Amino acid sequence: MKVVLDTNVIVSATLIHSGNEDRILKAWQRGAFELILSPAVLEEIGRALSYEKIKKRRWVTDEEALSLVEALAEKSTLIPGQTKLVVARDPDDNKFLAAALEGKADYLVTGDRDLLALESFKGTEIVRPATFLKLLTKEERK
């Protein structure tokens, strides 16, 4: 299963220990799904994790956050990020849809209301973290 995780999912995983987003990240780390990233998405994740307001609330250390970004870069499927789209209401969201399209993702997992309102995009289902966890649990039981 190929999946794009929105930046808000990754950041939330560092803010809420054992929350849905943290469980999704741990599932990826154990190989439960293939993570699709583009250079633009990876850059945004690194930038967001270094925001002072995020750093103050994270349960992970600076070293662990850096290790996470390095692991994302090394262990995910990094697509070229050549696809440019103008679909989402918020232009910053287009990079996630483009990564999903270019990487042929089955799911885009997000908490973003604008993206969730689309429900799907060219074969990629757009779901909340809790919904994705249920799907993942079902898939792992097979």
Q: Which domain holds residue 42?
A: 2-141
Confidence of residue 65 (pLDDT cuts 50, 70, 90): confident
Count of domains forming the chain: 1
Confidence of residue 82 (pLDDT cuts 50, 70, 90): confident
CB atoms within 10 A of CB 24: 25
For the segment 105-131, the average pLDDT, to the nearest whole number, is 95
**3-state helix/strand/coil string of 116-131:** HHHCEECCEEEECHHH
CATH of the domain at 27: 3.40.50.1010
Closest CA to 77 of 23, 133, 33: 33
CB atoms within 10 A of CB 74: 8
pLDDT for 21-41, tens place per residue? 999 999 999 999 999 999 999
CB atoms within 10 A of CB 49: 21
The continuous run of DSSP H or E covering 77 comes out as strand 77-78
CB atoms within 10 A of CB 36: 25
Q: What is the pLDDT of residue 55?
A: 83
| pTM listed for this prediction | 0.91
